[in-house]
């Protein structure tokens, strides 16, 4: 099971049936999630979490950001992605709609097993940050030789 400290649902309950799906779709589009010490915390950036036999792969949408805007940390079994998207509004213009999240952000993803932090790799290409987290040797499956 994957846990994420910032959940995309504004409420901990999930309604059943068609009404619940409609309710979920409406609130998924809301950019703000929970209130913290510094106001609203956005569900930015969006991420995918994929697992195969040897690694975890995390894909994070980072349009308009560079690696200099980001910080990544792996500690114990948690991955933290944090950074800042700066406001780029020219002087003398009026913003009629702003749906892109600006400001500081932080996402923490709890991994189901330990990873080898020394071998973690991160690449930013075409607005997508791809983080490869190799599983720790201790948690990888081992083939056991059967002796007669």
Strands (E), the chain: 3-4, 32-36, 39-42, 47-51, 55-61, 70-75, 78-85, 103-110, 121-125, 128-134
Q: Beta partners for 47?
A: 60
Sequence spans of domains, the chain: 3-8+16-88+99-139
Q: What share of the chain is helix, strand, coil (3-state, %, to 5)?
A: 15, 40, 45
Instruction: Find the helix or strand (DSSP H, E) in which 97 lies.
Output: none
101 pLDDT tier (thresholds 50, 70, 90):
confident
Fold for 3-8+16-88+99-139, please state it: Immunoglobulin-like (2.60.40)
Question: Which one is predicted more confidently, 123 or 32?
Answer: 123
Confirm if 43 and 33 have CB atoms less than 8 A apart. yes
Confirm if 59 and 129 have CB atoms less than 8 A apart. yes
Per-residue pLDDT, averaged over 16-38, amounts to: 48
How high is the pLDDT of residue 148?
83
Name the pTM for this structure: 0.64
How far apart, in whole angstroms, are the C-alpha atoms of residue 139 and residue 95?
51
């Amino acid at each position: 099971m994957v846990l994420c400290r910032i959940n995309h649902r504004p409420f901990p309950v999930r309604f059943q049936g068609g009404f619940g799906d409609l309710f979920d779709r409406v609130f998924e589009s809301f950019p703000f999630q929970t209130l913290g010490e510094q106001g609203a915390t956005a569900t930015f950036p969006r991420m995918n979490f994929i697992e195969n036999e040897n690694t975890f792969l995390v894909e994070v949408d980072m349009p308009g950001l560079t690696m200099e805007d980001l910080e990544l940390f792996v500690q114990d079994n948690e991955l933290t992605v944090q950074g800042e998207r700066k406001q780029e509004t020219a002087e003398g213009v009026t913003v009629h709609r702003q749906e892109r999240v600006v400001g500081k952000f932080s996402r923490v993803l709890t991994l189901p097993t330990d990873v080898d932090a020394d071998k973690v790799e991160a690449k930013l290409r075409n607005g997508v940050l791809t983080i490869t987290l190799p599983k720790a040797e201790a948690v990888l499956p081992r083939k056991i030789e059967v002796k007669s």
